[in-house]
Amino acid sequence: MKIGFIGLGIMGKPMAKNLLKAGYELIVLDLNKIAVEELVSLGAESAETAAEIAEKTNTFITMLPNSPHVKEVALGKSGLIEGAKHGSLLIDMSSIAPLASREIAEALATKGIEMLDAPVSGGEPKAINGTIAVMVGGKKEVFDSNYELMMAMAASVVYVGEIGAGNIAKLCNQIVVALNIAAVSEALVLAQKAGVSPGLVYQAIRGGLAGSTVMDAKAPMMMDRNFNPGFKIDLHIKDMTNILETSRSVGVPLPLASQVMQIMLAVKQDGCGVEDHSSIVKFYEKMANIEISR
């Protein structure tokens, strides 16, 4: 089965590699030619435009930064809509605004093109080892027929409702992740300032109710001063913007999410926008005038 894959960034490149490992043929596209060449060296074919991919395949996956990028690739000049055949499918695995997913799906439907919104969670490590979680919106029968394809990149693929529901689920995920990172930051900075080893506190609490996947992923990064991006602050700000816009549209107050958004913006202003979102800890360190360590 030949799949088009557009977007070979931090998440997209390892996901595409996992599809190759699973035996799928790929046609890839990205502005980063080095990433494209790497996939080609592994057996993929390259394309110059999204329309070319749509002409050569019936199923295409996008893994792009935000709503405008997906709209451009799907609906813009030389976009998928220009080359796609009736009955083709776009699986958008980007994290974008739910309303944008619905708008893109409606436009594609006029040409007989199906769409699933299927954002992912897990960060670069889980993208590499193929254990990301995928939350999917769209027609149930389309989901069912493409479940195995998505599972080639994931440990969990869950159907959550009609188109746009996948990105609603992802926004909920990002609230929990952001607040969890902030809570871990507060706790470890408190331990350091009080003269207790953050490393030992982490070991003491990770097996109890406070333990979480987020803590296990991010606490060691904070203590080791490793802020290489598995997921950038800039991208989490993008997600938080979508979260707060969606919350306003449906009338749901999100006081904690709003506060973490301000923390992220402050960290970005300190020049850390391209760092991992574990650099949220720097906000608390700055206020407490201390730096955590093991």
Which residues are tagged catalytic?
Answer: 170
Structure tokens at 192: 């350091």
**In DSSP terms, which residues pair with 91 in a beta bridge?**
61, 116
For residues 137, 3, 236, 204, the Cα torsion angle rounded to the nearest 10 degrees is 90
DSSP secondary structure string for all residues of 83-137? HPPTT-EEEE-S---HHHHHHHHHHHHTTT-EEEE--EESHHHHHHHT-EEEEEE
| Phi–psi pair at 162, nearest 5 degrees | -70, 175
CB contact at 8 A, 264 and 277? yes
